[in-house]
Amino acid sequence: MKTSALLIGINNYKRLPLQGCVNDVRAMFEALTERHSIGPGDTYTLLDGQATRAGILQGLQWLAVEGPDVAIVLFSGHGTRVPDLDGDEARGWSGTKYDQAIVPVDYERNGLILDDDLAAVFWTFPRETKLILILDSC
């Protein structure tokens, strides 16, 4: 059984830096490679300045092309929500519809990665791939 992982950790946001996100990625990498025998070549790691919108989407595409039996995505960084523009979200308790988003390091210049963007990439994975998505973000 082949397992591949995309590990993303961002501490160095310009406006609201975080602590611990890069350590989360390092700990997950260690757990996967040392305890679960996943080869370093089966992981794609993006830390701080590497975790741009384009870099994250490229990493997701790499993971899909790998075609693993199990695909793990860890994102440790800021998350947010924005008003739903395409009407595909259910109304929340406030009556407003929102898209959820992860925040790449270059979000101010290149935008967020919406749940719709993630879904579009996830549909490119082989049908048999088990996808494990871990979002450590607010």
- Alpha-carbon torsion, ordered 39, 40, 41, 43, to 10 deg: 100
| 58 vs 33: CA distance, rounded Å | 22
State the pTM of this model. Answer: 0.92
Beta bridge partners of 107: none
Tens digits of residue pLDDT in 56-98: 999 999 999 999 999 999 999 999 998 887 767 666 666 678 8
Catalytic residues: 78, 138
Tens digits of residue pLDDT in 95-119: 678 889 999 999 999 999 999 999 9
